[in-house]
Amino acid sequence: MSPTAHQVWTRARGLLLALLIIVVGGITAAALRSGDHHGHLDPRSADRLGSRAVATLLHNRGVSTRVVTTLDTATAAVGRNTTLVVAHPNMLTDAQREALHYAMETSGGRTILLSPGTESVATLAPGVRSTTPGPVAARDPQCSLAAARSAGNADLGGRQYITEAPGADACYPRDGRPTLLRFDTPNNGDTVLLGSADILYNHRLDDHGNASLALQLLGSRPHLVWYLPSSGDGSTTNGSGDPESTFLELIPSGWLWATLQLALAATLAAIWRGRRLGPLVTERLPVAIRASESTEGRARLYHQVNAHDRAAAALRSATRTRLAALLGVAPADAHSTAILIPAVATRTSPADRDLTALLFGPAPASDTALVLLADQLDALEKEVRTS
């Protein structure tokens, strides 16, 4: 005997409750991990802390923007006509920083490092020292760098940088130490250190001279490569740049054990709550319904809602299809007035009737008119069949 609805609910409510808890927990965790940090400094992100606005303005000025997430792609894309933006240089390993510094020295282009810390500066900008971060505020350039003087005051701050390198541009100082530092590199290139990336955020781009400074720094070359370091880069963990790691190797071991335990628990619960199979029970097949009964049932439905238009369209369509087969007209042309009407006219007498109105005319307005239309269509088909 099949279980009742109450029995099914009693057996399944435990599993449903556990599934509900898992779903709610997953949604809660996703909500807590999302927010303003989603798309941080990503030129594809329209979040407050994204950078789509500056990328759009650069595109309108003819500067192409390419987003990369691996060091190999970033170093391969740099050149004299390229500006490389490193969004999170502090995420790089020592080996990655050395490889990036070599590319910066040999490319002859511009590299912009966003808020690099002490370890990053030591490798990527030898001869420069970084200090503790401070507040971000609107500051005056107080330097001779053309981009800074043109932009005027901008939201700078964060880390401060100290260097003795000759010819360096030290701008937007805080307590006498610059928060924007530009210095030359070999092969006619240069490097820009920004103590804070606030001028690139979507929600701060239109404040003060932020947009002007950002566009001049990032748009000095026709191509912009925006490097977003990520854990997906194989060289992030071992410095080898080996991309051959499998998917299972990238999953922390704790997650694998947790997944195995959940699978085992689900299997035991299924065995515990599973229905015990008994002997096979034969059941009668569904009742066969005659075609005439189906036709009559549909006709009654049409009659109840006064669907004269649908009934007439069905009658005319079926008649046109049968006439086309009798006259040798292709099925694709069975509902074409220009092809079907002349073919029917050649097989019928020139009686006082309008074939176009009969086969393609408007819907009848009453049941009597619908019955008359059906009789006329039947008579026309008989005449064509016997001609």
pLDDT tens series, the chain, 387 aa:
556 777 667 767 777 777 778 777 766 665 555 444 457 888 888 888 888 999 999 999 999 999 998 888 888 888 889 999 999 888 888 888 898 889 888 888 899 999 898 888 888 888 888 888 888 889 999 899 999 999 999 998 889 998 887 888 899 998 888 999 998 888 888 899 998 888 999 888 888 888 999 999 998 899 999 999 876 666 544 444 444 445 655 565 567 777 888 888 888 888 777 766 667 777 776 777 787 888 888 888 888 888 889 889 999 999 999 999 998 899 888 899 999 999 888 888 866 678 888 899 999 989 899 899 999 999 899 988 887
Pick left, alpha or beta for residue 84 (phi over 0 → left; psi -120 to 50 → alpha; otherwise beta).
Answer: beta
Using the CB atoms, write b or e for 159-175: b if 16+ within 10 Å: bbbebeeeebbbbbbbe
> Residue 313 and residue 321: Cα distance in Å, rounded?
12
Q: How many residues does the chain have?
A: 387
Q: What is the pTM of this model?
A: 0.53
3-class state of residue 22 by DSSP? helix
3-class state of residue 171 by DSSP? strand
* Six-digit token string for 128: 């420069």
DSSP conformation class of 36: T
Q: Which amino acid is at 278?
A: G
252-257: long-range contacts (C-beta < 8 A, 24 or more apart)? none
Sign of CA dihedral 245, 250, 254, 260: negative
